Amino acid sequence: QVIRRDAYREPDWLVPETALDFRLDSLQTRVKARLTVVRHGDHDRPLRLDGDSLTPVAVSVDGRAVTDWTMEDGQLVIALSGVDHVIETEVEIAPELNTQLMGLYASGGLLCTQCEAEGFRRITFFPDRPDVLSRYTVRMDADKARYPVLLANGDPIASGDLPDGRHWAEWHDPFPKPCYLFALVAGDLEANRDSFVTMTGRKVDLGIWVRAADLPKTDHAMAALKLSMAWDEAMYGREYDLDVFNIVAVADFNFGAMENKGLNVFNSRYILADPDTATDMDYDAIAGVVAHEYFHNWSGNRVTCRDWFQLSLKEGFTVFRDQQFSGDQGSKAVKRIEDVRTLRASQFPEDSGPLAHPIRPESYMEISNFYTATIYNKGAEIVRMIHTILGPEKFRAATDLYFARHDGEAATCEDFVKAMEDGGGVDLSQFRLWYSQAGTPRVKAALSHDGATARLKLEQTVPATPGQPEKQPMLLPLKVRLFGAQSEAPLCDERIVMLSAANDEIVIEGIEERPILSINRGFSAPVVLESDRGAADLAFLSAHDDDPFARYEAMQQLMVDTLVRAVAEGMADHGPVIEAVRGTLTDKALDASFIAEAVLLPSEAFIGDQMLVVDPDAINRARDSLRAELGVKLESAWRGAYDSAQANRFEYSPAAKGARRLKSVALGYLAASGAKDAADLAYAQFAGADNMTDRQGALGVLVNGTSGNRAKAIEAFYDRYQDNALVLDKWFTSQALSTRADVMDEVLALSSHPDFTLANPNRVRALAGAFSVNQRGFHGADGRGYAFLADIIIALDKLNPQTAAKLVPPLGRWRRFDERRAEKMRAALQRIVDAPGLSKDVFEQASKSLG
Ligand code: ARG
Ligand code: ZN
Kindly report the three-state secondary structure assignment for every residue of 397-462. Answer: HHHHHHHHHHCCCEECHHHHHHHHHHHHCCCCCHHHHHHHCCCCCEEEEEEEEECCEEEEEEEEEC
CA nearest to 266, candidates 309, 217, 304, 229:
217
Residue 62: DSSP 8-state: T
Identify the nearest ligand to the CA of 290 by its number.
Answer: 1
Whole-number Å distance between alpha carbons of 70 and 40? 21
Q: pLDDT tens for residues 457-502?
A: 999 999 999 999 999 999 999 999 999 999 999 999 999 999 999 9
Residue 313 Cβ inside 6 Å of ligand 1? The answer reads no
Q: How many angstroms separate the Cα of 165 from the Cα of each of 82, 185, 188, 523?
A: 43, 19, 15, 60
Check whether the bond before 741 is cis (ω within 30° of 0): no
Please name the helix (run of DSSP H) or strand (run of DSSP E) that holds residue 205, with its range, or none: strand 203-210
The whole model's pTM is what? Answer: 0.99
List strand residue ranges (DSSP E) for 40-148, in order.
47-49, 58-61, 64-65, 70-72, 75-78, 84-93, 103-107, 110-114, 134-143
3-state helix, strand, coil in the chain (%, to 5): 45, 20, 30
Please name the helix (run of DSSP H) or strand (run of DSSP E) that holds residue 171, with its range, or none: strand 166-177
Indicate if the pLDDT at residue 647 is higher than 80.
no
**Ligand 1 centroid – CA 100 distance (Å):** 14
Whole-number Å distance between alpha carbons of 660 and 768? 28
pLDDT band at 644 (very low <50, low <70, confident <90, very high): confident
Determine how many CB atoms are found less than 10 A away from the CB of residue 600. Answer: 19
Which atom of ligand 1 lies at the shortest distance from residue 102's CA?
Answer: 10
Identify the nearest ligand to the CA of 260 by its number.
Answer: 1
Which atom of ligand 1 lies at the shortest distance from residue 292's CA?
Answer: 12
User: Any alpha helices (H) in 586-653, and if so which ranges?
Assistant: 592-598, 604-609, 616-633, 635-644
Percent over 90 (pLDDT), the chain? 99
**Ligand 2 centroid – CA 38 distance (Å):** 31
**Ligand 1 centroid – CA 91 distance (Å):** 26
Pocket test for ligand 1, best of 52, 250, 319, 371 (most atoms within 8 A of CB): 371
Q: pLDDT tens for residues 655-670?
A: 999 999 999 999 999 9
**Ligand 1 centroid – CA 359 distance (Å):** 15
CB 654 within 8 A of CB 819: no
Query: What are the phi and psi torsion angles at 814 (to 5°)?
Result: -60, -30
Which atom of ligand 1 lies at the shortest distance from residue 371's CA?
Answer: 11
Which atom of ligand 1 lies at the shortest distance from residue 254's CA?
Answer: 11
Whole-number Å distance between alpha carbons of 705 and 553? 29
Give pairs for 754-760: CB < 8 Å, separation 24+.
Answer: 755/722, 755/728, 756/732, 758/792, 758/795, 758/796, 758/799, 758/800, 759/99, 759/252, 759/799, 760/251, 760/252, 760/725
Please name the helix (run of DSSP H) or strand (run of DSSP E) that holds residue 396, with its range, or none: helix 392-406
What pLDDT, on a 0 to 100 scale, did the predictor assign at position 519?
A: 98
By residue count, the chain amounts to 851
Residue of minimum CA distance from atom 8 in ligand 1: 116
Residue 259 Cβ inside 6 Å of ligand 1? The answer reads yes
Nearby residues of 179 by Cβ (< 8 Å), 6 or more positions away: 18, 115, 120, 126, 127, 128, 132, 134
Plot region of 7 (φ>0 → left; ψ -120 to 50 → alpha; else → beta): alpha
CB 125 within 8 A of CB 91: yes
Residue 343: DSSP 8-state: I
Residue 368 Cβ inside 6 Å of ligand 1? The answer reads yes
Mean of per-residue pLDDT scores for the chain: 98
Query: What are the phi and psi torsion angles at 63 (to 5°)?
Result: 85, -5
CA nearest to 338, candidates 317, 358, 319, 356:
319
Arithmetic mean of pLDDT, 762-780: 98
Q: pLDDT tens for residues 571-601?
A: 999 999 999 999 999 999 999 999 999 999 9
Indicate if the pLDDT at residue 646 is higher than 80.
no
Residue of minimum CA distance from atom 9 in ligand 1: 368
∠ CA 249-255-261, nearest 5°, is 60
Using alpha carbons only, how large is the chain's radius of gyration in Å?
28
ipTM of the complex: 0.98
Residue of minimum CA distance from atom 10 in ligand 1: 368
The DSSP code sequence of 88-113 is: EEEEEE-GGG--S--EEEEETTEEEE
CB 828 within 8 A of CB 794: no
Map residue 516 onto helix, strand or coil: strand
CB 504 within 8 A of CB 390: no
Indicate if the pLDDT at residue 254 is higher than 90.
yes
Residue 467: DSSP 8-state: T
- Decide the pairing of beta strands 13-23 and 134-143: parallel
Q: pLDDT tens for residues 442-454?
A: 999 999 999 999 9
∠ CA 359-764-288, nearest 5°, is 50
Residue 134: DSSP 8-state: E
**Ligand 1 centroid – CA 508 distance (Å):** 46
Q: How many angstroms separate the Cα of 601 from the Cα of each of 191, 321, 562, 657, 668?
A: 43, 29, 11, 20, 11
Pocket test for ligand 1, best of 255, 270, 321 (most atoms within 8 A of CB): 255
**Ligand 2 centroid – CA 826 distance (Å):** 33
Whole-number Å distance between alpha carbons of 385 and 570? 40
Whole-number Å distance between alpha carbons of 631 and 643? 15
Residue 257 Cβ inside 6 Å of ligand 1? The answer reads yes
Q: pLDDT tens for residues 719-732?
A: 999 999 999 999 99
Cα–chain center distance at 822: 28
**Ligand 1 centroid – CA 376 distance (Å):** 10
Residue 805 Cβ inside 6 Å of ligand 1? The answer reads no
Residue 183 Cβ inside 6 Å of ligand 1? The answer reads no
Within 13 Å, how many C-alpha atoms sit on residue 426's CB side? 20
Residue of minimum CA distance from atom 1 in ligand 1: 258
Whole-number Å distance between alpha carbons of 650 and 690? 7
Residue 258 Cβ inside 6 Å of ligand 1? The answer reads yes
pLDDT band at 436 (very low <50, low <70, confident <90, very high): very high
Q: pLDDT tens for residues 202-216?
A: 999 999 999 999 999
Whole-number Å distance between alpha carbons of 684 and 131? 58
Identify the nearest ligand to the CA of 316 by its number.
Answer: 2
Active-site positions?
Answer: 293
Q: How many angstroms separate the Cα of 489 from the Cα of each of 485, 551, 590?
A: 8, 14, 18
Map residue 771 onto helix, strand or coil: helix
Residue type, 503: N
Q: pLDDT tens for residues 319-376?
A: 999 999 999 999 999 999 999 999 999 999 999 999 999 999 999 999 999 999 999 9
Please name the helix (run of DSSP H) or strand (run of DSSP E) that holds residue 702, with its range, or none: helix 692-703
Whole-number Å distance between alpha carbons of 204 and 825? 53
Whole-number Å distance between alpha carbons of 331 and 760? 34
Cβ-count burial 820-844 (b if 16+ within 10 Å, e if not): ebeebbbbbbebbeebeebbebbbb
Whole-number Å distance between alpha carbons of 731 and 277? 12
CA nearest to 762, candidates 788, 738, 726, 731:
726
Q: pLDDT tens for residues 695-744?
A: 999 999 999 999 999 999 999 999 999 999 999 999 999 999 999 999 99
What pLDDT, on a 0 to 100 scale, did the predictor assign at position 649?
A: 84
Residue 507: DSSP 8-state: E
Residue of minimum CA distance from atom 3 in ligand 1: 258
Q: pLDDT tens for residues 261-301?
A: 999 999 999 999 999 999 999 999 999 999 999 999 999 99
